[in-house]
């Protein structure tokens, strides 16, 4: 049965058309995947369906009847619910309050019954198999946990159409499985799901239909039967793509960085070493301490004990500035918080970290900045209306590319990549993989933190598995497997 | 600089956590302690009553603006609204003309109307709250002067004057009103949907919108609550000085906002509590009272007052 | 009550609540009070009400709670400061108003009638203009007692001079910089038509004067203001300012303290309960008397 | 990429974009137009000179606080700093005592010192800028009163008074100073690394920190620039009124911040420009001047002034 249909939806921002007469039809009891490159317009499209923005033209039909949503509130009343790509949370409120915001349970007298609120939240969590304390403040959670709360919040709505915009980009396999179970459950109840993701394996596993957008235009809809990876990819990128993972043989050189018994917030007694020309992968479940380790190594978190040696010499890295000067670069997993100045332009964000290098004394060198920004935008295929667009209005994947390009302009020797392909389309992923490969052939060292195990397995020379802030296992690439990693990552 | 949120590393953090949570309370108690050691008259029921009565007007205003600030706005028009509503109340409070309730009702209506205009200009008009309420600050002052023809409105009825001057069981009525407003507003903020929506809108407006909250209505309400309370403060003030004074309330907004911020409410919205605001109000009140009692010369008083406020905030420092 | 908490060494204690210690004139009154108090071995507590009547009421409440022996009130407002007077009287503590009046009647009064100052100033303007000409008026902060009284007196007095026209009147909030800007704007719109400026205080008068001088118009325009602050006296001496009106801060302050002491010592048998200190016109002819 | 191509809706969007970009300029020109129709004297070289001289003090302050606001802070101490530095300058500006440069230097040093203290309390002390500068507002006022003993400091040298009163080729010196400061500060904000860092820190402090920017130093500098400029404004004011007034500059911070916000700088930091601030300053100045020229009665003047500010912001509304 058709639950939702959108026809001829168009939308422009500041004179740039980002959606051009796109359409889509969703049936109950099916998962309809929406895919396309970064900046193709997927999120914009969904935000229009959800009443977050008005469309410039086009009509939305719910159960065959045309509707006009003046806001998210209207869309929700028509049975739509959405997990947004960017986290839309209330950091100062508790998990339970976040889940029930807008529909708090009231007592007989009309006021909020905090105890029932928490109980209901706890029940919901249990029911869905999520383990997050409901009385904690949202800001105390890791991004992954926040994402899970958002999922719980969205699916607990009494809705008939669920829109999920990259729900798995910030969570690990384990949590993703929980989501997949929930999706199966909803599907069984006859609900419709629109699912956006850049992860091909998820699409093949979940989708009943796939609609592809490119450059804001509708490209086509295919049903699951007879769908081929090759065809899908060329629909997405408009050309053929080489093999995704092409790991060249590497020849590790001397040790670049060595950590001994490192302790810091969330990191307990970690020792590791990275060689030049080597990719060190770090695996772990959510909250295993990988991000904390990355932060400690990049001067973002105070090191409480232990020692770091660079090129054999003990160094103290007490600020990101010190890390940068010593040749350590970090691509953060939380670009919104640590990575970008949202109101500043793409150009300014790209050159910010390496501004000193690209200026003349205390004066800026605008011409050079423009040239550098254009070069980087070309190189990482950053899709923006111009280099002067505010980076906060770029699509998620393009923002990630800006972070990456900004970091590598500082020309670090050790590059720490924390979930670098989060939310990145398949074409761009390949470019990032090629970039990582080029780093190692130039004798740089890379620490790669990723929750996508196939990616980690394909790119790393060695893999560390973390749990509870400690390194629990170390394995060479040819000995590693998904099963083995998961075995070490989970508690015994 | 360590900008990350710390993990509960019990020993060291316990202390830091205590200060984080109760830093301002500690600062407040410290100041009280010092003052009661320095001045014999400070720590007495009589002086406590005086302090409470002194702070009640600023307290009512500060609670009002807490609503607006939690929802992510600001209100600079408070002082002028106090003057305008005080004049309105006084105009209807001459003996033998109207019943008391009319005077009070008209003043509160005037306050609510101003709040409504502020709220609509912010939401429908999409003008920054700072500009809207700065404009309203000037407008309301002009209205107060116009309504009173620039002269204090005097000759008010005894029943009206009793509001600011009277006591019930030894507790001054302004203090009772302040107390009632504290209770009511804590209840609204913590126990009603409106209260939680205020936090949600201030904490993340887009997320609030996406959660189906009527963001605009919530904001308008916050401004109306604020100006409505300012009207109550205006009534209390006018009846305390037995005059509708068009030039009253100058810079009151600054004292009110200061109390709110000292009480830990963030000017960027989404964080704050009535308890904190009350503490901020008391802190300012106690400093003013104590420095007067100590007979510190007026110039040094200003220097010391400023220094104490900063020092208290240092003890309370967050992050 | 009189449970003398505040007076420690048996010295009498007087609490004073002053209109504003940022006003030069009030600071002079305060200085005189302090000088007199130290001459007479009195402890004087001075609070600054910062122009807010409600603060003044609170300060008097505090004085009552502290059990001072007498209170000197330099009222912010006629009516709005009255509760302070009533409270002191109800508590049986003698209260003396200094400098200006309240509606509620205090035990004693030392000061002047504010209206008089404006009358003197305008009389002088009228006589310099020979009863004919265009006048602009700068008001103090709107709604404050001094502004209102000086404005009211202006109106009554000018009724006698039908040929003096008020071209414009506006507030410059007692502030010199604001007055300067206001005068510049007036010069712009009225140019040569302005014959005289009456400013409700010297600060504004000086501002108007400077604006006129810069525009090269001072020779044609009369400027008179009130207070006789040092700067204004010097300007009168130099022939820049036409006149100011002197109010005797020193006498007001000293006599207020004397009267308070009288009340403390003699209670109800004080005879002299109101002392009027007249305003005096200061012109180039007599300015030397006032310059120390 | 076809996203760069202009689209059918051009005409409508062009207009919307125009208003988004030049809304405040349009509002300003509109007001000027109305005023020159209503008052013959408004549109003249002479009056333009008067307006420019009148706005120059607020202009200098507004530019200073633009730096602080762009970097994500606020400065409420401006007005008091104007008074304090004016008094300091006046104390050293009696004829025949010190060379002029000493008076100017001491005032600017005093300003820089206050800015430094503000900055350190915000960065090292981690106290909210609102509280720090509110405390400093009181402290600096106290210092001004103390330094001058509550009385205006008069009898200043002619060379000192020439700063505020003199002209060069018909242009008043305060206007020249204002102009120089406009040029210099646009240059700093747009053409130097410091400028870029100010925007970055205000736009996202954490990201700026993670990028290796010395966030604390940048913030301290912004406060020092702000108070330093306030000292210049203090000197100009003192010399314009030929007095060091301890009670000068009351509420000047509000006018300055208003001009900044009207000029499109966001109070949450990271966005803003000197051009916008100058426009805001001129808008306020023109309204004040125009209403005086029209001889609008002072009650209505306030109402109209507030309404025009809100209306101008309505034309300019963003989003
Ligand atoms: N508020 C906005 N202002 C200006 N441009 C915008 C705005 N929001 C989105 N865009 C532009 O619209 C285009 C589509 O963005 P959208 O977020 O819909 O892409 P997406 O398909 O979801 O990409 P991703 O896979 O990276 O999330 C992008 O080019 C983006 O820069
Ligand atoms: N700001 C914080 N407040 C409290 N606890 C925190 C904070 N940041 C991290 N932690 C805790 O530190 C531990 C390590 O977290 P970290 O983010 O490093 O893990 P991770 O392996 O990178 O997980 P993720 O995949 O979610 O990023 C977790 O237990 C987490 O809950
Ligand atoms: Mg997207
Ligand atoms: Mg992580």
Q: Which of A44, A196, A400 to mutate to test the pocket of ligand 1 (most atoms within 8 A of CB)?
A: A44
Q: Which of A299, A296, A349 is nearest to A321 (CA)?
A: A299
Per-residue confidence (pLDDT) for residue B17, from 0 to 100: 55
SS3 label, residue D96:
coil
Q: What is the Å distance from ligand 3's center to A397 Cα?
A: 7
Question: Tokens standing for B161?
Answer: 């004057």
Which residue of A15, A323, A384 is the best one to mutate when testing the D interface, meaning the one whose CB has the most D CBs within 10 A? A15
Q: Are strands A445-449 and A57-62 parallel, antiparallel or unpaired?
A: unpaired
CB-CB under 8 Å, A386 with D4: yes
Average pLDDT over residues A362-379: 94
Q: Which helix (H) or strand (E) holds D172?
A: strand D171-172
CB-CB under 8 Å, C58 with B50: yes
Give me the residue from C21, C182, C206 closest to D292, CB to CB.
C182
Distance of alpha carbon D77 from alpha carbon D254, whole angstroms? 10
Whether ipTM exceeds 0.85: yes
Average pLDDT over residues C172-178: 93
Per-residue confidence (pLDDT) for residue D318, from 0 to 100: 55
Distance of alpha carbon D261 from alpha carbon D1, whole angstroms? 37
Average pLDDT over residues B287-297: 87
Q: Which residues of B touch A156 (CB under 8 A)?
A: none
Ligand found nearest the CA of A40: 1
Distance of alpha carbon D262 from alpha carbon D25, whole angstroms? 11
CB-CB under 8 Å, D207 with A18: no
Average pLDDT over residues A160-176: 92
CB-CB under 8 Å, B248 with C80: yes
The number of beta carbons lying within 10 Å of the beta carbon of residue D125 is 17
Chains in contact with D via at least 3 Cβ–Cβ pairs below 8 Å: A, B, C
Per-residue confidence (pLDDT) for residue C70, from 0 to 100: 96
**C232-257 pLDDT tens trace:** 999 999 999 999 999 999 999 999 99
Distance of alpha carbon C186 from alpha carbon C178, whole angstroms? 12
Whether B220 shows a pLDDT value over 50: the answer reads: yes
Per-residue confidence (pLDDT) for residue B6, from 0 to 100: 39
Q: What is the Å distance from ligand 1's center to A216 Cα?
A: 9
pLDDT band at D10 (very low <50, low <70, confident <90, very high): very low
Query: Which residue does chain B place closest to D125, by CA atoms?
Result: B314
Report the DSSP beta bridge partners of residue A471: A466
Query: Which residue does chain B place closest to A291, by CA atoms?
Result: B4
Looking at the complex, does the CB of residue D19 fall below 8 Å from at least one CB of chain A?
Answer: no
Per-residue confidence (pLDDT) for residue A465, from 0 to 100: 95
Distance of alpha carbon C286 from alpha carbon C282, whole angstroms? 6
Whether C2 shows a pLDDT value over 80: the answer reads: no
Give me the residue from C53, C62, C66 closest to B245, CB to CB.
C53
Q: Which residues of A touch D209 (CB under 8 A)?
A: 319-320
Q: Do A2-237 and A255-327+412-490 agree at the fold level?
A: yes
Least confident of A26-30, D22-26, D48-52: D22-26
Q: Which residues of A touch D205 (CB under 8 A)?
A: none
Per-residue confidence (pLDDT) for residue A350, from 0 to 100: 97
Question: Tokens standing for D198?
Answer: 């100010």
Residue C291 contacts residue C233 (beta carbons within 8 Å): yes
Q: Which residues of A touch B270 (CB under 8 A)?
A: 90-92
Give the minimum alpha-carbon distance from C34 to chain D in angstroms, rounded to a whole number: 14
**Can you give the residue ranges of every domain in chain A?**
2-237, 255-327+412-490, 340-399
Residues 131-190 of C with CB under 8 A from B: 141-144, 148
Chains in contact with A via at least 3 Cβ–Cβ pairs below 8 Å: B, D
Ligand 2 pocket, A329 CB below 6 A? no
Buried b (16+ CB within 10 A) or exposed e, B289-317: bbbbbebbbbbebbbbbbebbbbbbbbbe
Q: For domain A2-237, give the fold.
A: Rossmann fold (3.40.50)
Give the minimum alpha-carbon distance from B70 to chain D in angstroms, rounded to a whole number: 15
Average pLDDT over residues C1-14: 60
Least confident of B19-28, B127-136, B171-180: B19-28
Ligand 2 pocket, A292 CB below 6 A? yes
Q: Which residues of C touch D39 (CB under 8 A)?
A: 189
Ligand 2 pocket, A297 CB below 6 A? no
SS3 annotation, chain A: CEEEEEEEEEEEECCEEEEEEEEEEEECCCEEEEECCCCCCHHHHHHHHCCCCCCCEEEEEECCEEECCCCHHHHHHCCEEEECCCCCCCCCCEHHHHHCCCCCCECCCCCECHHHHHHHHHHHHHHHCCCCCCCCEHHHCCHHHHHHHHHHHHHCCCCCEEEEECCCCCCCHHHHHHHHHHHHHHHHCCCEEEEECCCHHHHHHHCCEEEEEECCEEEEEEECCCCCHHHHHHHHHCCCCCCCCCCCCCCCCCEEEEEEEEEECCEEEEEEEEECCCEEEEEECCCCCHHHHHHHHCCCCCEEEEEEEECCEEECCCCHHHHHHCCEEEECCCHHHHHCCCCCEHHHHHHCCCCCCCEECCEECHHHHHHHHHHHHHHCCCCCCCCCCEHHHCCHHHHHHHHHHHHHCCCCCEEEEECCCCCCCHHHHHHHHHHHHHHHHCCCEEEEECCCHHHHHHHCCEEEEEECCEEEEEEEHHHCCHHHHHHHHCCC
CB-CB under 8 Å, C188 with D247: no
Percentage of chain A surpassing pLDDT 90? 75
Query: Which residue does chain A place closest to B195, by CA atoms?
Result: A112
Q: For domain A255-327+412-490, give the fold.
A: Rossmann fold (3.40.50)
Compute and round to an integer the Cα radius of gyration of chain B: 20
pLDDT band at C3 (very low <50, low <70, confident <90, very high): very low
Average pLDDT over residues A272-288: 92
CB-CB under 8 Å, D196 with A17: no
pLDDT band at C5 (very low <50, low <70, confident <90, very high): very low
Residue A49 contacts residue A22 (beta carbons within 8 Å): no
**D217-258 pLDDT tens trace:** 999 999 999 999 999 999 999 999 999 999 999 999 999 999
Looking at the complex, does the CB of residue A364 fall below 8 Å from at least one CB of chain D?
Answer: yes
Give the minimum alpha-carbon distance from D173 to chain C in angstroms, rounded to a whole number: 13
Q: Which of A22, A33, A38, A39 to mutate to test the pocket of ligand 1 (most atoms within 8 A of CB)?
A: A39
Ligand 2 pocket, A79 CB below 6 A? no
Q: What is the pLDDT of chain A when averaged over all its residues? A: 92
Q: Which of A43, A46, A163, A202 to mutate to test the pocket of ligand 1 (most atoms within 8 A of CB)?
A: A43
Q: What is the pLDDT of chain D when averaged over all its residues? A: 91
CB-CB under 8 Å, D135 with B299: no
DSSP B180: H
Looking at the complex, does the CB of residue B40 fall below 8 Å from at least one CB of chain C?
Answer: yes
What is each CA distance from C292 to A274, B295, C225, C234, C289, in whole angstroms?
85, 31, 20, 11, 8
Residues 242-261 of B with CB under 8 A from C: 242-243, 245-248, 250
Closest C-alpha to ligand 1, atom 27: A396
Whether B2 shows a pLDDT value over 50: the answer reads: no
The full set of domains in chain D, from first to last, is 42-318 (1.10.3470)
Question: Tokens standing for C283?
Answer: 């012109």
Per-residue confidence (pLDDT) for residue D173, from 0 to 100: 97
Give me the residue from B197, B199, B210 closest to A92, CB to CB.
B199
Query: Which residue does chain C place closest to B44, by CA atoms?
Result: C65
Average pLDDT over residues C17-33: 92
Per-residue confidence (pLDDT) for residue C9, from 0 to 100: 55
Average pLDDT over residues A250-277: 92
**A388-436 pLDDT tens trace:** 999 999 988 899 999 999 999 999 999 999 999 888 888 888 888 888 9
Residue A138 contacts residue A88 (beta carbons within 8 Å): no
SS3 label, residue B275:
helix
pLDDT band at D63 (very low <50, low <70, confident <90, very high): very high
Looking at the complex, does the CB of residue B192 fall below 8 Å from at least one CB of chain A?
Answer: yes
Question: Tokens standing for C174?
Answer: 């007692």
Q: Which residues of A touch D193 (CB under 8 A)?
A: 355-356, 359, 362-364
**A92-108 pLDDT tens trace:** 999 999 999 999 988 88
Which residue of B295, B296, B303 is the best one to mutate when testing the C interface, meaning the one whose CB has the most C CBs within 10 A? B295
Average pLDDT over residues A147-155: 95
Distance of alpha carbon A370 from alpha carbon C101, whole angstroms? 72
Q: Which residues of A touch D212 (CB under 8 A)?
A: 319-321, 323-325, 353
Percentage of chain C surpassing pLDDT 70? 97
Per-residue confidence (pLDDT) for residue B40, from 0 to 100: 78
Closest C-alpha to ligand 2, atom 9: A142
Per-residue confidence (pLDDT) for residue D20, from 0 to 100: 58
Compute and round to an integer the Cα radius of gyration of chain A: 23
Question: How many beta-carbon contacts under 8 Å exist across B and C?
Answer: 88
Whether B77 shows a pLDDT value over 80: the answer reads: yes
CB-CB under 8 Å, B262 with D131: yes
Distance of alpha carbon A79 from alpha carbon A66, whole angstroms? 14
List ligand 1's pocket residues with C-beta within 6 A. Answer: A 13-14, 18, 36, 38-44, 85, 383-384, 393-398, 423, 425
SS3 label, residue D298:
helix
Give the minimum alpha-carbon distance from C144 to chain B in angstroms, rounded to a whole number: 7
CB-CB under 8 Å, D150 with C21: yes
């Amino acid at each position: 049965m058709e639950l939702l249909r959108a026809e001829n939806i168009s939308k422009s921002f500041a004179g740039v058309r980002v959606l051009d007469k796109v359409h889509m039809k969703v049936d109950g009891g099916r998962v309809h995947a929406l895919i396309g490159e970064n900046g193709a317009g997927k999120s914009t499209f969904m935000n229009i369906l959800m009443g977050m923005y008005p469309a410039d033209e086009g009509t939305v039909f719910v159960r065959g009847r045309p509707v006009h949503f003046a806001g998210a509130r209207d869309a929700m009343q028509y049975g739509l619910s959405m997990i947004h790509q960017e986290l839309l949370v209330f950091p100062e409120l508790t998990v339970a309050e976040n889940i029930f915001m807008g529909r708090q349970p009231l007592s007989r007298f009309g006021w909020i019954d905090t105890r029932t609120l928490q109980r209901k939240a706890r029940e919901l969590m249990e029911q869905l198999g999520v383990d997050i304390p409901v009385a904690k403040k949202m800001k105390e959670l890791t991004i992954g946990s926040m994402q899970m709360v958002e999922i719980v919040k969205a699916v607990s709505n009494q809705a008939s159409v669920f829109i999920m915009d990259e729900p798995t980009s910030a969570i690990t396999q384990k949590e993703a499985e929980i989501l997949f179970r929930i999706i199966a459950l909803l599907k069984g109840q006859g609900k419709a799901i629109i699912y956006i993701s850049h992860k091909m394996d998820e699409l093949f596993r979940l989708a009943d239909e796939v609609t592809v957008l490119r450059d804001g235009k509708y490209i086509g809809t295919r049903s699951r039967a007879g769908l081929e990876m090759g065809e899908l990819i060329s629909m997405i990128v408009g050309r053929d793509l080489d093999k995704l993972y092409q790991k060249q043989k590497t020849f590790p050189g001397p040790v670049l960085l060595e950590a001994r018994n490192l302790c810091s917030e969330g990191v307990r007694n970690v020792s590791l070493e990275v060689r030049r020309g080597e990719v060190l992968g770090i695996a772990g479940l959510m909250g295993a301490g990988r991000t904390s380790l990355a932060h400690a190594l990049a001067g973002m978190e105070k090191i409480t004990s232990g020692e770091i040696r660079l090129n054999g010499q003990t160094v103290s890295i007490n600020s990101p500035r010190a890390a940068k000067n010593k040749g350590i670069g970090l691509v953060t997993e939380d670009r919104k918080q640590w990575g970008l100045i949202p109101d500043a332009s793409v150009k300014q964000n790209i050159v910010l970290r390496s501004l000193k290098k690209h200026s003349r004394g205390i004066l800026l060198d605008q011409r050079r900045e423009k040239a550098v920004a254009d070069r980087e935008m070309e190189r990482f295929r950053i899709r923006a209306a111009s280099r002067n667009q505010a980076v906060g209005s770029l699509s998620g994947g393009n923002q990630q590319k800006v972070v990456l390009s900004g970091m590598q302009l500082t020309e670090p020797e050790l590059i720490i990549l924390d979930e670098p392909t989060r939310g990145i389309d398949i074409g761009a992923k390949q470019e990032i993989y090629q970039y990582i490969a080029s780093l190692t052939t130039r004798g740089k060292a890379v620490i790669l933190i990723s929750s996508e195990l196939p990616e980690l397995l394909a790119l790393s020379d060695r893999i560390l598995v973390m749990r509870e802030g400690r390194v629990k296992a170390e394995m060479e690439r040819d000995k590693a497997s998904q099963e083995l990693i998961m075995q070490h990552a989970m508690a015994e | 600089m360590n900008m990350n949120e710390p993990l509960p590393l019990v020993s060291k953090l316990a202390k830091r956590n205590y200060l984080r949570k109760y830093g301002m309370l500690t600062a407040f108690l410290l100041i009280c302690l010092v003052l009661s050691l320095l001045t014999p008259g400070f720590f007495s029921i009589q002086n406590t009553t005086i302090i409470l009565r002194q702070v009640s007007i600023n307290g009512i205003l500060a609670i009002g603006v807490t609503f607006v600030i939690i929802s992510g706005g600001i209100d600079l028009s408070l002082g002028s609204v106090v003057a305008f509503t005080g004049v309105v109340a006084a105009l209807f409070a001459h003996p033998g003309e109207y019943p008391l309730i009319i005077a009070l009702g008209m003043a509160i209506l005037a306050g609510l109307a101003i709040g409504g205009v502020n709220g609509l200009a912010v939401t429908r008009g999409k003008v920054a709250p700072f500009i809207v309420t700065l404009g309203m600050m000037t407008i309301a002052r002009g209205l107060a002067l116009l309504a009173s023809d620039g002269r204090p409105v005097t000759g008010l009825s005894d029943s009206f004057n009793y509001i600011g001057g009277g006591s019930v069981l030894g507790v001054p009525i302004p203090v009772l009103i302040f107390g009632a407003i504290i209770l009511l507003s804590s209840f609204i903020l913590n126990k009603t949907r409106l209260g939680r929506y205020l936090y949600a809108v201030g904490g993340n407006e887009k997320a609030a919108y996406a959660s189906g909250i009527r963001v605009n209505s919530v904001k308008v309400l916050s401004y109306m609550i604020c100006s409505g309370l300012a009207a109550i403060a205006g009534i209390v003030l006018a009846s305390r000085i037995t005059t509708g004074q068009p030039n009253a309330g100058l810079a009151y907004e600054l004292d009110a906002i200061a109390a709110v911020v000292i009480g830990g409410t963030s000017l960027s919205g989404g964080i704050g509590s009535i308890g904190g605001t009350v503490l901020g109000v008391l802190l300012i009140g106690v400093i003013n009272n104590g420095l007067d009692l100590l007979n510190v010369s007026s110039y040094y008083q200003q220097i010391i007052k400023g220094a104490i406020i900063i020092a208290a905030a240092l003890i309370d420092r967050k992050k | 009550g009189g449970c003398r908490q505040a007076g420690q060494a048996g010295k009498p204690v007087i609490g004073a609540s002053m209109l504003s210690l940022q006003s030069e004139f009030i600071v002079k009154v305060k200085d005189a009070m302090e000088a007199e108090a130290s001459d007479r071995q009195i402890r004087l507590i001075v609070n600054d009400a910062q122009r807010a009547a409600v603060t003044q009421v609170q300060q008097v409440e505090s004085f009552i709670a502290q059990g001072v022996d007498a209170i000197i009130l330099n009222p912010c407002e006629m009516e709005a400061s009255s509760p302070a007077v009533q409270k002191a009287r109800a508590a049986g503590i003698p209260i003396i108003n200094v400098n200006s009046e309240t509606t509620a009647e205090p035990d004693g009064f030392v000061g002047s009638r504010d209206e008089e100052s404006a009358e003197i100033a305008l009389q002088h303007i009228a006589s310099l203009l020979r009863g004919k000409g265009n006048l602009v008026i700068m008001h103090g902060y709107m709604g404050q007692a001094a502004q209102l009284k000086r404005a009211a007196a202006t109106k009554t007095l000018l009724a006698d001079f039908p040929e003096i026209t008020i071209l414009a009147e506006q507030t410059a909030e007692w502030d010199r910089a604001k007055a300067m800007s206001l005068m510049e704007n007036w010069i712009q719109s009225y140019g040569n038509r302005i014959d005289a400026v009456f400013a409700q205080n010297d600060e504004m008068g000086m501002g108007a004067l400077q604006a006129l001088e810069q525009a090269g118009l001072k020779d044609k325009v009369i400027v008179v203001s009130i207070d006789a602050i040092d700067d204004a006296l010097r300007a009168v001496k130099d022939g820049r300012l036409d006149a100011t009106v002197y109010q005797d801060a020193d006498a007001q302050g000293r006599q207020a303290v004397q009267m308070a002491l009288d009340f403390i010592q003699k209670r109800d048998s004080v005879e002299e309960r109101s002392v009027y200190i007249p305003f005096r016109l200061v012109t180039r002819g007599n300015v030397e008397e006032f310059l120390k």
